[in-house]
Amino acid sequence: MILAALPRPNINLINSKEVQTSYEAVSMVLIPRLIGTPTRGNQPTAEPGMIVNDPAKGFSSDAIDVLIDVVRSYGPMLNDEELFELLQTVLRVIENDHAGTVVTKRALTAISMLSIHLSDTQLSGFVSGLIESFKSPHLTINRRRHLIAAISAMARSTPAKFGPHLKLLAPFVLSAVSEKEMNEVDDDMSDDGEHDPKQDELRETALVSLDTLLGYCGSEMQPYLNDCIAAALRYLKYDPNVAELEEDEEMGGTQDESSDDGATEEPDDDNDAFDDFEEEEGYSDIDDLSWKVRRCAAKVLYTIVSTQGRNARAVEDGSIYQKIAPALLSRFTKEREESVKVEVVATMTGLVRKTSDLATGPNLFYADPFSQTRSSRKRRRQDSNATVIDLESDFPPPSTSDTPIAKPSTPQPGPQTDLADLTPGIVQALTKLWRGAPIPLKQGAILLLKALALVRYGGLADYLQRIEDPIADALKTSGLSGGVTVSAGSNSVSAGNLQVEALGLIAAISETHPSGSLSPFLIALIPGVVACVNNRDFKVSSEALGAIEQIVVALTPPRVSVDDRDLGLQLEKLYDIVAEKVTNNSTDLGVRQRGIHVLGVMLSRTSGPEGRRFITLEQRRKALLVLLERLKNETTRVAAARAIDDVALLARQSDDVEPSWLGYVTLELAAQLRKVDRTLRDVCLGALKSIAMNSQTRQYLDKHTTEGLRVAISPLISADDLHLLTPALVIFAKLLPHYGPDLVNDNIITQLCAAVQGTLTGTALKAYILLVRVIGEQGAGAKLMKALLQTVGVNGDSAVVGKAIGTLLVYSGPKVGVTTEDFLIELKTAQDNQRKCLALAILGEIGLRMGAKSPLDPQLFITNFNSPSDKVRLAAAVALGNAGASNVDAYLPVILEGLEQSKSSKYLLLHSLKEILQHPEDVKTHVAPFATRLWQILLSASDDEDNRTVGAECIGRLSLIDPATYIPQLQVCSFALIDVVDNAQR
């Protein structure tokens, strides 16, 4: 209490006088009292300290706690002599065979804290002392155990400083679990017939230390990786009370590994690192501690898999898949202790998940953009990205709604093939151990299956019937209350948690497997899932709704045939239970919100004529009214808006939504745009955008609704918030062709002029140009053109304003009031550089929009390369590239010739080329004839330091046009071009 009240040093501040005074008091009074009078040479201490071995009471743990507090509070201020004396004091504790468990633990904690403040010289001296202690002929098992634990403590606290010393210390840790020592102990045991439990404690401590060393000092432990694997595998099957008649055999040939469990027992960094010194709970056989050794061995393997999974050495020599996985799999059925089984299954789960890091991403095997973008549980509003839904389209592209899950192909040789070979054995072992397994082990098995489903897309298709019964058993609540909790080592697992994981497994399988093999499996499990929806535990109920979401996606077109009547009956059951949860006001709010989302998914997946076979028109109307009702409720408004977004996005025919419903919904969504809640505004604007983009919903927006929408959205046309600006512009662009140029009033024009003077980039700029184009096409461009020229002019970014004016001129026709000739004259006669830059940007955009019909010649832009203004020269280069992007055949030869002949213009011409390559899909076929010549020119031009950055951008963009051709060439470039290649690849 006194130490806690004293002022402490702050590492970021100079120590105050009060802090210095406090330290001096501690140094002069407390530290000598703890350690005794400091030693002088070989003289013994004149006065014993508080940390001494009292013959009657032993060491004082309270005194060690005081020492820990001193180091924690004043460690940075301790001098070398004090650090040395404190360290020697705690070393005497851990080297004493009679020190108690609690005292030893506290002493190890003190060592870990002291090591942080040791200098390199002191640390080297401490390591030398450890080595001498290990080599001592009087070394006992207990002392050896404590020394090994001290190595672990220091590696955990100062891995960077302590790591280099492991080349001297790691062999002492490994020797405790070596095959040689194991044989020696076995020989001694056979002589006297008794097994020494202290040997098991030593092995346990050694394995715990190896776990720490591998986790904290992985690179320094690389030379000992094979020894660590061998030791862990040796003691994974260590069971002296069971006679092994033969070596562990690989079940079903090559086994699979899969592990990673939320309950994986990784070392807890925040808690005490020395739990192996405490009594373990749940242990039934007092005389046999070998289960602790086996459990620690499994933990070491988990750490090896987690930290060395990307190690080429471990993968190439087969350590993971040919050694570790089969050994783990054999313990599924041979292991006696349940806590060890849980750890073994968790390790296998980690191994399976690590396979996904080593192999090609699963998205190559799975393609259902709807579930990935629109209905994902981790929902991300991606609609403002033009790459997700084309801003110019009137309906979602086929990839959004019509792409079924792809059937997984045969995995390529490597980790995925090894995992595929192991899968049959894993499934067989899990179904076998399920019978009579406690809840923690069942949960571990479910997590392992889930990892397999996610890592090997479609990989469980042949085993669905075998795992159906275990999953159904996990969903049952009979005899198990959601509140029943079972302790498994340091983890507490309840029946409710098991149900949650089982439901997550069903969702994962539904998401990743072809529906042809899923239908019988899912139909058999639907009753259990429906029962879980009504569970009193809100976590179980919410996860059950998440499983229903994926089941609906799996059992609806295009993933299944519309002729399957059984599926219609099953979907009706799911519809009923979801609708009940959404409409029941007594339902937990989180569950109700999840249900609203699932209802939206169900309605969107059953849109169009095929959907009537699954959900009737009357059911659909009732569900839409429920969504409208929930949209009016403040607590469920966000969830309802997202569900309406899904429904509007994928409406495929006119009766998917009713006109009156859509009108009410649109105005209700528009009214929310005035709210302060940013999330609410975001989702409501996204839903309005989907309504505007889909022709099937947009047709029902009458004049009254459109006017209300215009009033609500017009304040969002501001460059202050690009995230809201983009969808607002898209909505206007979609409504304008159908409701006439009257939407573009003076207020909208003023806001458009203000927005273009801000910073418009990316999709916001694309949306702005789209709206400008539509305004021009609808004959309303004259007012906007006048405002842009007179109000904005050179006050905004020339590049952005030039894009807007150039686009408006091309798509407005002769009625806009200005012509291309006007800007040619402006370019020639303008005296200030800003006006020249604007004229160049406008002409470049005109060239881009008109393409081959453009009257502009490349030399028009190249002549401005001689301007004394850097801004004008760069604007001319960008305009040249812009104009050339839609007329590559006319512009690219001129640019290439200039790059080959003119050194002075090379930098500017590279900028022009960069602009052309920014349109890869448009220029790909036109660039192909020049590709080889262009590649050589770029590599040569990039030799110049001034051109290196822009040259690298061009090389990178060219590589993206044809990756198969150019990426290999990047990899074999000469050493002199390494910097260029590095920039290009980035």
- Residue, of 582 and 610, whose pLDDT is higher: 582
Helix 197-216 to helix 290-308 angle, to the nearest 10 degrees? 10
pLDDT surpassing 70 at residue 368: no
**Are 840 and 827 spatial neighbours (Cβ–Cβ below 8 Å)?**
yes
Residue 709 structure tokens: 């929408």
Using DSSP, state whether 494 is helix, strand or coil. strand
Whether 28 is covered by a domain: the verdict is yes
Using DSSP, state whether 40 is helix, strand or coil. strand
Whether 377 is covered by a domain: the verdict is no
Q: Give residue 754's pLDDT.
A: 92
pLDDT surpassing 50 at residue 278: no
| The amino acid at 425 | G
Domain boundary among 85, 117, 149: 117
| Res. 895 pLDDT band, cuts 50 70 90 | very high
Report the 10 Å Cβ neighbour count for 915. 21
pLDDT surpassing 50 at residue 370: no
Q: Specify the range with the lowest mean pLDDT, choosing from 19-33, 231-245, 756-770, 790-804.
A: 231-245
- Residue, of 560 and 773, whose pLDDT is higher: 773
CATH of the domain at 882: 1.25.10
| Res. 775 pLDDT band, cuts 50 70 90 | very high
Residue 485: enclosing H or E segment and its boundaries? strand 485-488
Strand partners, 487: 492
Domain boundary among 117, 136, 167: 117
**Residue 298 CA from chain centroid, whole number:** 27
pLDDT in tens, 30-88: 888 888 765 444 555 456 677 776 666 778 888 888 889 888 888 888 888 989 989 99
Burial 66-76 (b: 16+ CB within 10 A, else e): bbbbbbebbbe
Q: Which of 441, 460, 462 is nearest to 452 (CA)?
A: 460
Q: Give residue 73's pLDDT.
A: 86
Residue 742 structure tokens: 């009257």
**Are 899 and 867 spatial neighbours (Cβ–Cβ below 8 Å)?**
no
Q: Which of 131, 114, 118 is nearest to 170 (CA)?
A: 131
Whether 226 is covered by a domain: the verdict is no
Whether 397 is covered by a domain: the verdict is no
| Res. 808 pLDDT band, cuts 50 70 90 | very high
pLDDT in tens, 431-451: 999 988 999 999 999 999 999
Pairing between strand 485-488 and 491-494? antiparallel
Counting beta carbons within 10 angstroms of the beta carbon of residue 913, is it exposed (0 to 12), middle (13 to 18) or buried (19 or more)? buried
- Report for 371-385, 487-501, 723-737, 970-984: range of highest mean pLDDT: 723-737
**Are 760 and 719 spatial neighbours (Cβ–Cβ below 8 Å)?**
yes
Q: Give residue 256's pLDDT.
A: 41
pLDDT surpassing 70 at residue 7: yes
Residue located via tokens 């839904």: 389
Using DSSP, state whether 114 is helix, strand or coil. helix
pLDDT surpassing 60 at residue 941: yes
Query: How many whole angstroms separate alpha carbon 963 and alpha carbon 942?
Result: 20
| The amino acid at 456 | R
Q: Where are the beta strands (DSSP E) in 91-193?
A: none
Any idea what the Cα angle at residue 443 is, between residues 439 and 449, rounded to 5°?
A: 145
Query: How many whole angstroms separate alpha carbon 235 and alpha carbon 290?
Result: 9
Q: Give residue 479's pLDDT.
A: 42
Torsion angle in degrees (nearest 10) through CA of 81, 82, 84, 85: 110
pLDDT in tens, 828-837: 998 899 999 9
What single string gives the DSSP state of each residue in 190-227?
A: HHH----HHHHHHHHHHHHHHHHHHHHSTTTTGGGHHH
What single string gives the DSSP state of each residue in 402-452?
A: S-PPPPPPPPPTTHHHHHHHHHHHHHHHHHHHHTT--HHHHHHHHHHHHHH
| Res. 973 pLDDT band, cuts 50 70 90 | low
| Res. 596 pLDDT band, cuts 50 70 90 | very high
- % of the chain residues with pLDDT over 70: 82
Query: How many whole angstroms separate alpha carbon 240 and alpha carbon 686?
Result: 65
pLDDT in tens, 620-633: 999 999 999 999 99
pLDDT in tens, 213-268: 999 999 999 999 999 999 999 999 998 877 543 444 444 444 444 434 433 334 34
Query: How many whole angstroms separate alpha carbon 28 and alpha carbon 48?
Result: 16
Half-sphere exposure of 452 (CA within 13 A, CB side): 33
Burial 750-773 (b: 16+ CB within 10 A, else e): ebbbbbbbbebeebbbbbbbbbbb
Helix 415-434 to helix 338-358 angle, to the nearest 10 degrees? 160
Average pLDDT over residues 272-292: 56
pLDDT in tens, 823-877: 999 999 988 999 999 999 999 999 999 999 999 999 999 999 999 999 999 999 9
Angstrom CA distances, 941 to 276, 470, 564, 866, 896, stand at 64, 65, 63, 20, 11
pLDDT in tens, 414-426: 778 888 889 999 9
Strand partners, 953: none
**Are 35 and 51 spatial neighbours (Cβ–Cβ below 8 Å)?**
yes
Sign of CA dihedral 808, 814, 815, 818: positive
pLDDT surpassing 50 at residue 755: yes
Query: How many whole angstroms separate alpha carbon 780 and alpha carbon 815?
Result: 9
Q: For 679, phi and psi rounded to 5 degrees?
A: -60, -45
Q: Give residue 313's pLDDT.
A: 59
Average pLDDT over residues 360-388: 38
Whether 327 is covered by a domain: the verdict is no
Domain boundary among 97, 117, 137: 117
**Are 703 and 739 spatial neighbours (Cβ–Cβ below 8 Å)?**
yes
DSSP 58: B
Q: Give residue 375's pLDDT.
A: 39
Residue 143: enclosing H or E segment and its boundaries? helix 141-157
pLDDT in tens, 426-435: 999 999 999 8
Average pLDDT over residues 627-650: 96
Average pLDDT, the chain: 83
pLDDT surpassing 60 at residue 303: yes
Query: How many whole angstroms separate alpha carbon 436 and alpha carbon 448?
Result: 18
Q: For 865, phi and psi rounded to 5 degrees?
A: -70, -15
Residue 26 structure tokens: 């501690």
Average pLDDT over residues 763-769: 93
Residue located via tokens 């407390």: 30
Q: Which of 447, 440, 448, 408 is nearest to 255 (CA)?
A: 448
Q: Where are the beta strands (DSSP E) in 642-798?
A: none
- Residue, of 339 and 253, whose pLDDT is higher: 339
| Res. 666 pLDDT band, cuts 50 70 90 | very high
Whether 494 is covered by a domain: the verdict is no
Any idea what the Cα angle at residue 303 is, between residues 300 and 304, rounded to 5°?
A: 85
Whether 942 is covered by a domain: the verdict is yes
Range of the domain at 852: 823-985
pLDDT in tens, 454-496: 988 888 999 999 999 999 999 985 444 444 444 444 445 678 8
Residue located via tokens 């590709």: 931
Whether 840 is covered by a domain: the verdict is yes
Domains identified in the chain, total number: 2
- pTM for the predicted model, two decimal places: 0.81
Cis ω for the linkage preceding 558 (within 30 of 0) = yes
| Res. 307 pLDDT band, cuts 50 70 90 | confident
Residue located via tokens 């790691």: 170
Residue located via tokens 């881009």: 848
Average pLDDT over residues 360-378: 39
Average pLDDT over residues 563-574: 81
